[in-house]
Amino acid sequence: MNTNSGSSTSDSPIPGGTAAGLRLARAAFGLGVLCAATALLAGPAYRLQWVSLGIGLQAVRWAAIVALVAAALALIAWLMPGPAIGRRGWAATALVLSLAVAAPPWYLYWKLQHLPRIHDISTDTAMPPAFEAVLPLRQGARNSVDYAASTAAEQRRGYPDIAPLTLALAPDAAFGRALDAARSMGWQIVAAAPPQLRIEATDTTLLFGFKDDVVIRITPQGTGSRVDVRSLSRVGGSDFGANANRVRAYLKDLAARAAAPA
């Protein structure tokens, strides 16, 4: 008597082609997980001084490249003929994960090709605010605090919107709002000098812990105040637009605070 005559077709072996597609989808997912772990751990490993900066950056670069391979394998697994039987679920997950790993580094590469390769942004390119209090913290930094004339030209070409902020506030009131805005940005305040109307701070990136220094200078202008900001990276030839974005975000926050009722 055939005891299997009433069994469900789901109990039958998975067809060979479908099994291969499922294995490929799972392999793509595993490769995507490996790439994600490599990209996420490279920064902390550098911060803990387990690897050099060069090795950390190369790890992220290769994770992005291999993630594209994983995405291609996932797409092949998705398109393979035969019943899905979980194959497309694994393939879709692997594809999304791999593209999520590859996208940020490739986006940074695109920015590197289209943005000025500078790491020093100032709202005043003729007389940029000078750093003082952060100088001891920049011992051994690869980038100098000296402002290069070529930087001004590159900034005007790439970031023509970066300009001083004029506030209808007395300098002492502007200083208070400026300090509140700097704290709201999550920066480490290194120095706040009301008599000199100067603020210096340091911003630290999340993964690699890169440190960029900021100086804010307030000067009287008529019955109001002028605010100048300079943001400078300690390492790296190009900042991928990070300093310009930081200055923009800070000035936007400060303008909103200045416009709000006291």
Which three-class secondary structure string do you get for 183-227? Answer: HHCCCEEEEEECCCCEEEEEEECCCCCCEEEEEEEEEEECCEEEE
**Structure confidence by residue, pLDDT tens digits, 119-156:** 999 999 999 999 999 999 999 899 999 999 899 999 99
Question: What is the CATH classification number for the domain harbouring 185?
Answer: 3.30.530.50
Q: Is residue 194 part of a domain?
A: yes
Whether the Cβ atoms of residue 101 and residue 42 lie closer than 8 Å to each other: no
Same domain as 138, residue 25: no
pLDDT reported for residue 131: 97
Q: What is the mean pLDDT of residues 171-193?
A: 97
**Structure confidence by residue, pLDDT tens digits, 148-176:** 989 999 999 999 999 999 999 999 999 99
Beta pairing partners, 100: none
Strand pairing class (188-193; 198-204)? antiparallel
Same domain as 69, residue 167: no
Name which residue leads in pLDDT, 110 or 131: 131
Query: In which domain, by residue range, is 201 found?
Result: 120-259
Nearest-angstrom CA–CA distance, 57 and 107? 15
Domain ends where: 82, 114, 146? 114
Q: Is residue 154 part of a domain?
A: yes
Same domain as 75, residue 131: no
Whether the Cβ atoms of residue 99 and residue 91 lie closer than 8 Å to each other: no
Instruction: Tell me the longest C-alpha to C-alpha distance in the chain.
Output: 103
Domain ends where: 83, 114, 145? 114
Only one residue has tokens 């402002």, namely 147
Nearest-angstrom CA–CA distance, 34 and 44? 16
> Does the structure show a pLDDT above 50 at 195?
yes
Same domain as 144, residue 239: yes
Same domain as 106, residue 139: no
Number of domains the chain contains: 2
Same domain as 183, residue 58: no
Q: Is residue 10 part of a domain?
A: no
Per-residue pLDDT band at 10 (split at 50, 70, 90): very low
Residue type, 36: A
Nearest-angstrom CA–CA distance, 170 and 148? 32
Percent of the chain topping pLDDT 90 = 77
Per-residue pLDDT band at 207 (split at 50, 70, 90): confident
